[in-house]
Amino acid sequence: MRTPSSTVVIAGLVLIGVFTLFVKRPPRTATEIAAPQTQVGPAVAQAPVAGPAGVAAQPSARSPPPTGAAPAAFVPTVVTAAWDIPDPDTLPDDIYGRTVGRGRDLIARTSSLIGPDAADPTMRHAGNGLDCQSCHIQAGTQQFGIPLAGIWGVFPQYIGRENEVRTLEERVNGCMERSMNGRPLPVDGDEMKAILTYVRHISAPERVGQALVGRGTPALPLPDRAADPVRGQQIYTESCVACHGADGLGQRLDAAEAAETGRRYRFPPVWGPDSYNDGAGMARIITAARFVHGNMPLGTTFEAPVIPPGDSFDVMAFINTQPRPHRAGLEADFPDRSNKPVDAAYPPFVGPFTPDQHRFGPWQPIQDWLRANPAAARAIP
């Protein structure tokens, strides 16, 4: 048999290497999957839940998606490279490095530092047991996990909820008052300074005025039917109870582990007194469904979602019909009513649609009406 030439051997090795690159993806690193992270995702009560039409859920196997459900699998069209986020642990032990580290701690261990478990009662600004990274996954560094990385250079920016240009400090305090159900941080205080320094540090790859691809949550097509909280309870039971509990109150750490980690929960509550209030962004089903699809269960990424779009809308319809803290004064949100999100679940409701259609959908007709009638929407007091 003729011996292959060195050229043939080299060419063969190159082909094998190329093939390997395409078929073998390296495992996720410990940093990518490490705790302590918490999540805000689905949660379930044992009692039957009423849907938009008042139909009680019955214990059964999961029902099939209703007619008009979003596709069972949705492949995002966004193609984005992995982020190269600067690691705060590589910083020198100087004032800047310690300030960045303090900011990360405030995001990851909010409940014990500026929340209800803070040793100093005057520092208890967050009103519930969540941490900021309950929503901002991996301390705000995960793509499409509502990241904090990449937001530094896009503030100040217009915010429709207040109908004004707001600073990053004001946006942080919006989260403190709504998602954390608490009170604002002093804008000139050490805690706000540390949070801003951390956000600036992890936003280093971003250009001012241009957000990183991967900001927010992945887009989803809207279902052309109402989200179904009855079916959502079944999905919650199958996919979410293990972490968030049958009562939706999460997994609370014992005293020793809470003291060691600086956190109140291993997995956070998704309703009840320790969860986000009804004025938070997560209280809107479209916003929350995008988060669930791209990030839940914990460890999921937008590249390989686990919960299909239709299930994400349904499970959040269930979760957001459960009891949670109420924020007073919501009627003042979005004073320019043409900017009010179509899934905002509180009055005044915009357009000739029922409150239930705003809460559960279908939302596309509301969006179409708003585009065609902005002046009529603005006229709503």
Length of the chain: 381
- Backbone φ and ψ of 226, nearest 5°: -75, 140
Do 354 and 269 belong to one domain? no
pLDDT band at 84 (very low <50, low <70, confident <90, very high): confident
What one-letter code names the amino acid at 288?
A: A
Residue 21 forms part of a structural domain: no
**Boundary (domain end) residue, out of 319, 343, 358:** 319
pLDDT, average across residues 82-97: 92
3-class SS of residue 114: coil
pLDDT of residue 216: 85
pLDDT of residue 204: 85
* pTM score of the predicted model: 0.79
Q: Is the pLDDT of residue 160 over 80?
A: yes
pLDDT of residue 80: 57
Q: Is the pLDDT of residue 23 over 90?
A: no
Do 263 and 359 belong to one domain? no
Residue 78 forms part of a structural domain: no
Do 103 and 226 belong to one domain? yes
Residue 8 forms part of a structural domain: no
Task: Give pLDDT tens digits for 311-365.
Answer: 999 999 999 999 999 999 999 999 999 999 999 999 999 999 999 999 999 999 9
d(CA 161, CA 341): 9
Q: Is the pLDDT of residue 24 over 70?
A: no
Do 131 and 216 belong to one domain? yes
Domain range enclosing 347: 330-378
Give the residues across from 165 on adjacent strands.
158
Q: Is the pLDDT of residue 195 over 80?
A: yes
pLDDT of residue 210: 66
**Boundary (domain end) residue, out of 269, 296, 319:** 319
Residue 367 forms part of a structural domain: yes
* E runs forming strands in 82-229: 157-159, 164-166
Residue 220 forms part of a structural domain: yes
Share of the chain above pLDDT 90, in %: 72
Residue 4 forms part of a structural domain: no
Q: Is the pLDDT of residue 51 over 70?
A: no
What angle in degrees, to the nearest 10, is found between the helix axes of 95-108 and 190-202?
A: 100
pLDDT, average across residues 16-45: 36
Q: Is the pLDDT of residue 26 over 80?
A: no
pLDDT, average across residues 264-281: 98
Taking the CB of residue 121, how many other CB atoms lie within 10 A of it?
7
Among 61-75, 134-148, 256-270, 348-362, which stretch is predicted with the lowest mean pLDDT? 61-75
Do 171 and 193 belong to one domain? yes
Segments in 54-94 forming alpha helices (H): none
Domain count, the chain: 2
pLDDT, average across residues 34-57: 35
Do 295 and 338 belong to one domain? no
**Boundary (domain end) residue, out of 268, 290, 319:** 319
Do 191 and 278 belong to one domain? yes
Residue 44 forms part of a structural domain: yes
Do 161 and 189 belong to one domain? yes
Do 93 and 170 belong to one domain? yes
pLDDT of residue 25: 37
Residue 26 forms part of a structural domain: no
Do 334 and 250 belong to one domain? no
Looking only at the bridges linking them, the beta strands covering 164-166 and 265-267 are unpaired
pLDDT, average across residues 220-231: 97
Record the tokens describing residue 45, joined without a space.
Answer: 């009560």
Taking the CB of residue 202, how many other CB atoms lie within 10 A of it?
27
pLDDT of residue 64: 61
Do 115 and 159 belong to one domain? yes
Residue 74 burial (CB < 10 Å; 0-12/13-18/19+)?
middle
- Backbone φ and ψ of 164, nearest 5°: -155, 165
CATH code for the domain in which residue 157 is found: 1.10.760.10
Taking the CB of residue 100, how many other CB atoms lie within 10 A of it?
21
Task: Give pLDDT tens digits for 98-143.
Answer: 999 999 999 999 999 999 999 999 999 999 999 999 999 999 999 9
Do 335 and 232 belong to one domain? no
